[in-house]
């Protein structure tokens, strides 16, 4: 299987379980890997046989910068579901990593993140 990766996309959103996260917002970094058969696109140089990266970026952006939710787990599920739905003929599986680089948690750490996998990524 072939993969398309959109790595470390940066957005600003208002997701979080703490009240200040919904008011102040914060940065989010999202990476997406989509399992796609790229043979036809590569052979024919045909965008219709692959996933348009700009469109996929816009989908992720609209979710992260859109309606606030409490959990980054929910953000990841929405991204995976939308990509699988919109590209159901091209994408057989998706992996989504959502990172909060600066959550309001006391302590020393680089970030917090969730990673989910939906569909077949074999």
The CA distance from 69 to 107, in Å, is 24
- Whether residue 41 contacts residue 35, with contact meaning beta carbons closer than 8 Å, is answered with no
Look up 43 and say whether it is catalytic. Answer: no
pTM as predicted: 0.95
Q: How far apart are CA 33 and CA 92, in angstroms?
A: 11
Q: Which residue in 119, 98, 87 sits closest to 9, CA to CA?
A: 98
Task: Find residue 89's DSSP bridge partners.
Answer: none
Please give the helix or strand (H or E) that residue 3 lies within, else none.
strand 2-13
Q: How does strand 91-100 pair with strand 2-13?
A: unpaired
pLDDT at 99: 98
pLDDT in tens, 16-49: 999 989 999 999 999 999 999 999 999 999 999 9
Residue ranges of the chain with per-residue pLDDT less than 50: none
pLDDT at 122: 65
Output phi, psi for 2, to 5 deg. -100, 160
Show me where the domains of the chain are located. Answer: 2-119
**Active-site residue among 43, 49, 100, 120?**
100
The CATH architecture that domain 2-119 belongs to is 2-Layer Sandwich (3.30)
């Amino acid at each position: 299987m072939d993969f398309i990766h959109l790595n470390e996309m940066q957005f600003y959103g208002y997701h979080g379980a703490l009240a200040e996260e919904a008011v102040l917002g914060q940065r989010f970094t999202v990476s997406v890997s989509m399992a796609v058969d790229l043979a036809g696109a590569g052979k024919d140089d045909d965008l219709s046989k692959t996933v348009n990266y700009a469109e996929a970026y816009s989908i992720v952006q609209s979710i992260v910068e859109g309606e606030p939710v409490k959990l980054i787990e929910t953000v990841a599920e929405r991204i995976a579901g939308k990509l699988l739905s919109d590209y159901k003929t091209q994408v057989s599986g998706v992996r989504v990593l959502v990172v909060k680089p600066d959550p309001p948690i006391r302590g020393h750490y680089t970030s917090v993140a969730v990673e989910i996998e939906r569909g077949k990524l074999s």
